[in-house]
A and B are shown apart, each in its own frame.
Chain A
Amino acid sequence: MSNSQKTPLYDEHIKLGARMVDFAGWVMPIQYEGLKEEHHATRNNVGLFDVSHMGEIRVKGPKALETLQWLTTNDVAKLDRGQAQYGLLPNDQGGLVDDIFVYCLEKNADYLVCVNASNTDKDFAWMMKHNKGADIINESSAWGQIAIQGPKAIELCDALFSEKVSQMNRNEIRVSKFQNYKIMIATTGYTGEKGCEVFVESAGTAALWTALLAHPIGAKPIGLGARDTLRTEMKYSLYGHEIDDTLNPYEAGLGWAIKPLAKDFMNRTGIVAVKENGLKKKLIGLKMIDRGIPRQGYEIKTADGQKIGWITSGTHSPTLDEPIGIAYVETAKSSEGSEIFVDIRGKLVKACVVKTPFVMK
């Protein structure tokens, strides 16, 4: 772990007794009290997530919008000041460089792009290479980030922030202050719960974290372990699992974030062609009929052992207390109710395509 970066909350995690792991070049808490307890704390009350490892790339200037329209799949022109949008950074090979969130701080002039920790350097280099004249700045080291998620998250935020999160719609961003530190509150998240993600000046991250934990609402710190089970229950994509530099985003079920009629963008023709030719495979949710837990990389087969797909993410769902999986399967076998088999250590275990998200919110 010696070469890994530390977030501004590293010392806080150690004080809380977190089990630390190396993740995407960062030393991060995998769990504190226990994965299941943390998962339930988020679903039932409030969870606090150190997501300071995420990258923040600022795109500014008169060419900012034009550059983002070219680099991303969603229609950034739709965003007014204070609005946010999920989007994708396509590469020129048919896959994705990353999936991102674009926050509009000033229409046509100033945007914040939040990217995956593991991809920050790659994304920044890619954006610089295909820049259409914007000022692109990697601000990742300047910002800490804390996600506040759960049914009591808004109440907690309203108690701590002058900006009333209860007055904000989903996918908005407000610039504000906490103590003397600059913050940006975004009503976004990766758990399916209500709440927000707060960008905070690095130097103020620990002060905000401590204040959130100290509030009598009883928010719990949540590690990467529960962050993954929470997002899996919602069937949210994770780069390196459901999407990567080769997988087509329509097949990943992300067509809602691709706007080929609104604008041109990087490799638009190549990406759209996959859809127009009929999707060969689809990303589905599955539950097990016979015993076993699906895990990333396990093959999906027919009853007679023919390979028809693979598991992208799988776990034992703490909310449902049963195994769940996300998988690519051939389109013919992708409809709800289809019987499929997961190859678990050489044994074909019966499963079934189900409706997602696994947990309704």
Chain B
Amino acid sequence: MGFHIPEDFYYTKDHEWAQVDENIVTVGITEFAQDQLGEVVYVDLPEEGQKITQNQTFGVVESVKAVSDLFAPVSGTVIEVNSALIDDPSSLNDDPNNEGWLVRIEMDSEKELANLMRSPEYKKLIAEK
């Protein structure tokens, strides 16, 4: 299928990725997710300072045809939001692994990373779809 699934990311079963830099986690949706969604036309993201919880919804992305919840890969506090997406969500389709990042989270506990997938496991998951 040709999706780029970076090896240094962690993954949720709901197709979010998490890039970990010490206790700061950048979160986005995977290339597989954007392909399934189609063109994203609307994004709803949390505010800076908001607490979010692993596996709970923290926002929404919508394409023309569907609403899709965003699930937090880890618990923590939102420290930065990619507000460029609010006016123009096109980078979620064009470059979901980089420019289309959603939020940065200050992670509460590294232990939660154990609940996430690494790239081989995630590749297996999407191959079954």
Alpha-carbon distance A228/B42, docked complex (angstroms): 19
B43 nearest in chain A by CB position = A291
Alpha-carbon distance A262/B62, docked complex (angstroms): 47
Residues from chain B with a CB closer than 8 A to the CB of A315 are 64-65
B67 nearest in chain A by CB position = A295
> Are A316's CB and B38's CB within 8 A?
no
> Are A345's CB and B60's CB within 8 A?
yes
Checking A292, A318, A345 against B64 with a beta-carbon cut-off of 8 angstroms, the contacting residue is A318
Alpha-carbon distance A30/B62, docked complex (angstroms): 17
> Are A34's CB and B39's CB within 8 A?
yes
> Are B42's CB and A225's CB within 8 A?
no
The reply to whether the CB of A293 lies closer than 8 angstroms to some CB of chain B is yes
> Are A291's CB and B42's CB within 8 A?
yes
Checking A225, A291, A323, A345 against B65 with a beta-carbon cut-off of 8 angstroms, the contacting residue is A225
Residues from chain B with a CB closer than 8 A to the CB of A225 are 38, 64-65
Residues from chain A with a CB closer than 8 A to the CB of B62 are 293, 316
Contact count A vs B, C-beta below 8 Å = 39
> Are A31's CB and B38's CB within 8 A?
yes
Contact indicator per residue, chain B 49-88, by CB within 8 Å of chain A (1) or not (0): 0000000000010111101000000000000000000100
Interface residues of B in 15-72 (CB under 8 A from A): 38-39, 41-42, 44, 60, 62-65, 67
Residues from chain B with a CB closer than 8 A to the CB of A30 are 65
Alpha-carbon distance A295/B42, docked complex (angstroms): 13
**Dominant secondary structure at the B interface:** strand
Alpha-carbon distance A229/B41, docked complex (angstroms): 14
The reply to whether the CB of A219 lies closer than 8 angstroms to some CB of chain B is no
Residues from chain B with a CB closer than 8 A to the CB of A31 are 38
> Are B65's CB and A35's CB within 8 A?
yes
Residues from chain A with a CB closer than 8 A to the CB of B38 are 31, 34-36, 225
Residues from chain A with a CB closer than 8 A to the CB of B67 are 293, 295
Alpha-carbon distance A291/B39, docked complex (angstroms): 17
Alpha-carbon distance A30/B36, docked complex (angstroms): 12
Alpha-carbon distance A36/B41, docked complex (angstroms): 11
Alpha-carbon distance A80/B80, docked complex (angstroms): 67
> Are B65's CB and A293's CB within 8 A?
no
Alpha-carbon distance A254/B121, docked complex (angstroms): 53
Checking B44, B64, B86 against A36 with a beta-carbon cut-off of 8 angstroms, the contacting residue is B64
> Are A35's CB and B64's CB within 8 A?
yes
Alpha-carbon distance A101/B38, docked complex (angstroms): 33
A39 nearest in chain B by CB position = B64
- Given A36-B39, A292-B42, A293-B41, CB of A316 within 8 Å of CB of B60: no
- Given A228-B65, A318-B64, CB of A293 within 8 Å of CB of B42: yes
A228 nearest in chain B by CB position = B65
Interface residues of A in 204-247 (CB under 8 A from B): 225, 228-229
Cβ distance A290 to chain B, nearest Cβ, rounded Å? 12
Alpha-carbon distance A62/B86, docked complex (angstroms): 63
Interface residues of A in 288-303 (CB under 8 A from B): 291-293, 295
Contact indicator per residue, chain A 11-25, by CB within 8 Å of chain B (1) or not (0): 000000000000000
Cβ distance A297 to chain B, nearest Cβ, rounded Å? 11
Q: Which 7 A-B pairs have the closest CB atoms?
A: A316-B41, A316-B64, A225-B65, A35-B64, A293-B42, A293-B62, A36-B39
Interface residues of B (CB under 8 A from A): 38-39, 41-42, 44, 60, 62-65, 67, 86
Question: 7 pairs across A/B with beta carbons < 8 Å?
Answer: A30-B65, A31-B38, A35-B63, A225-B65, A291-B86, A293-B62, A316-B64
